[in-house]
Chains A and B, each alone.
Chain A
Amino acid sequence: MRKYIFKRLVAAVLTMWVLITVVFFLVRLMPGDPFQNPKMTAEIRANMESYYGFDKPLIVQYGNYMKNLFKGDLGYSMKFTNKTVNGIIAESFPFSADLGIRALVFAVSFGLVLGIISARNRGGKLDFFCVIVAVLGTSIPDFIMGAVLQYGFGIKWGLLPVAQYQGIEYTILPACAIGFYTLASVSRIMRASMLEVASQDYIKTARSKGVSEFRITAKHQIRNAIMPVMTIMGPTVASVLTGTFVIESIFAIPGMGKYYVESVSNNDYSMVLGMTIFYGVFLIFCNLVVDVLYGVADPRVRIGER
């Protein structure tokens, strides 16, 4: 087990390093620069460039950046003057994280339940309903879902707040909008996996032991069927995160997604760099956690026979 975690950890760190390096050089390749202001004189411009260290050779810049990164310093924003990238992330990340976690919990729990119900009632009316939800869910992009929910529940019927972020009721619509796609794919995978497991020999063995149907479902079927769902948890976290990008702008939530999109259009190098690295490292970390959890859940992985 320890060996398995260690291996995953090394792989994760390596991936992070590659990510940071690639992102650093890609960002420098971008056309345009942050100081495109016609009023700016050449002198000011040179000052600015030396202030941010752009006059030094690229490799030195890279070295400095990595050094600062080790200290946890992502540098200054170029557009939001006097703000550090760390500061902006610290300010906006809680909103995104809060929204993301709600969406994730909503999506995964409902997705699993739907998948289980669906598989247990295979061919029945409930199954039909669940399959329809799943197919619809994977066919509606989250920004459309957001618009539909906002219009229906917020504007038309006035049941829930339309936008902004001031309390729990404000998060319901955006979290649903982000989570719906994930919910659908989780329920789809869970359904397929439940049915797959149901035809396994060990389920028959359990039945031959006189184990109750409830326990067979709970202890044998779900436990084994959940494995494939766990493997998509990494991509799922990523998809929830991308969901926050657009949903935050639709619902005017001051999260990271909003800043990221703005920085991209402003060519704010250090912001894009910092936030990309933050996102990337965060997702790689999530993958690592999922991998370790997977190892805990499946004894076959734990021994290291994968």
Chain B
Amino acid sequence: MADREKFLELKNVVYSFHTYGGQVKAVRDVSFEVRKGEILGIVGESGCGKSVTAQCIMRLNPEPPGFFEGGEILFEGKDVLKMTNKELRKMRREDIGFVFQDPMTSLNPTMRVGAQIEEVFLGRTDVSKKEVKEKALEIMRLVGISDVEKRYKQYPHELSGGMKQRVMIAIALVSRPSLVICDEPTTSLDVTIEAQILDLLLELREKLGMSIIMITHDLGVIARMCDRVIVMYGGKIVEKGTAQEIFYDTAHPYTKGLMGSIAKLDTAKGEKLTPIEGTPPDLFFPPKGCPFAARCEYAMDVCKDNPPCSYQLSGEHVTNCWLQHEFAPDTDLKKENAAELKEGEVK
């Protein structure tokens, strides 16, 4: 999979919000890439910065209060942070689609569904009005909306939750972008609808060949959909690798904790789930060292004050944890072949 061409790359992105209470460091030094045709999962608990990271790519966070403190985001070789408004809008229109978490509030209540889909084509001169409508109807059919001519003229409140999320996906896909970012697309839907939507996304990926960034707190969704996974905690990436590596060759205590806190089919009756105790760090005052240190059962003295180095465990598998250091004691998480990445190398 590494041979696939990468077309989106985040390098050391730092993103903060200025609020009345002070500066919230929502994204701290995050780097990753997205390759053609893959599904990349970003997983982490609420407030770990995964949504902010995703919205950074399209610069959807309101600025101010949000602002970039450093790093670059290269989309097909162009830095998103240096784009003019016009270029940015073109990218949002044609190259990247975004599916939001809550379809109930993400559609304009005073606009017809069709018009909201067609809005993507505004400002484009290469398609006629008739073509636009055809494209809208086609994509509505493609995302599994029945009776499209009727739905086209309806208002969002006339649709069910699942149907609204299909409309959102239609909006994201209508211009056939090369990347779709799904920000917890099924969190506010019930389970049967969730399965339908996830299947739909997989099916559409087959048909249209776009890449997907899947943001979720649900490891089940990750296991089902993703090729590669990024685990975030406290605004930082703690581990990334292929889905295989993350699930079966876990290297970070937080990832291990996440795995332990979900019920599986083979969890024996009466066997206890092991939640991660404690609360995530306050990003107004992020800890100096590893963000997870306070809740980590493997925590060492070094973790408190020193931000961990990155360790390459295999071609894809990277983790930021002192447990991989040569001095660290042998634990179930320590890998034989861990190689420390030097500063400046892409983490």
Q: Chain A residues in contact with chain B, CB under 8 A? A: 199-202, 204-213, 215, 219-220, 223-224, 297-300, 303, 305
Q: Chain B residues in contact with chain A, CB under 8 A? A: 55, 58, 60, 62, 85, 88-94, 97-98, 100, 102, 105-111, 116, 119-120, 122-123, 155, 157-158, 168, 171-172
CA distance A219 to B172 in the complex (A): 19
CA distance A215 to B168 in the complex (A): 19
Q: Is the CB of A303 within 8 A of B93?
A: no
Secondary structure class of chain B's binding surface, majority of residues: helix
CA distance A220 to B108 in the complex (A): 7
Which listed residue, B62, B94, B122, B155, touches A211 by the CB 8 Å rule? B122
Q: Is the CB of A210 within 8 A of B168?
A: no
In the complex, what's the smallest C-beta–C-beta distance from A213 to chain B, in angstroms? 8
Q: Is the CB of A298 within 8 A of B100?
A: no
Q: Is the CB of A206 within 8 A of B155?
A: no
Q: Is the CB of A200 within 8 A of B105?
A: yes
Contacts of B58 in A (CB 8 A): 208
Task: Given A207-B92, A300-B157, answer yes or no on A224-B171 (Cβ-Cβ < 8 Å).
Answer: no
Q: Is the CB of B119 within 8 A of A211?
A: yes
Which listed residue, B98, B105, B116, B157, touches A303 by the CB 8 Å rule? B157
CA distance A219 to B115 in the complex (A): 11
Secondary structure class of chain A's binding surface, majority of residues: helix
CA distance A219 to B116 in the complex (A): 11
CA distance A256 to B49 in the complex (A): 64
In the complex, what's the smallest C-beta–C-beta distance from A88 to chain B, in angstroms? 44
CA distance A207 to B60 in the complex (A): 7
Q: Is the CB of B122 within 8 A of A224?
A: no
Contacts of A220 in B (CB 8 A): 108, 111
Q: Is the CB of B92 within 8 A of A209?
A: yes
Q: Is the CB of B91 within 8 A of A303?
A: no
Contact sample, A vs B, 18 pairs, CB 8 Å cutoff = A201-B105, A201-B106, A202-B107, A202-B108, A205-B98, A205-B100, A205-B171, A206-B119, A207-B92, A208-B92, A209-B93, A210-B91, A210-B92, A210-B93, A210-B120, A211-B89, A224-B110, A299-B110
Supply 11 further A-B pairs (C-beta < 8 A) apart from A205-B107, A205-B108. A199-B62, A201-B106, A204-B55, A205-B171, A206-B108, A208-B60, A209-B119, A210-B94, A212-B89, A212-B122, A299-B157
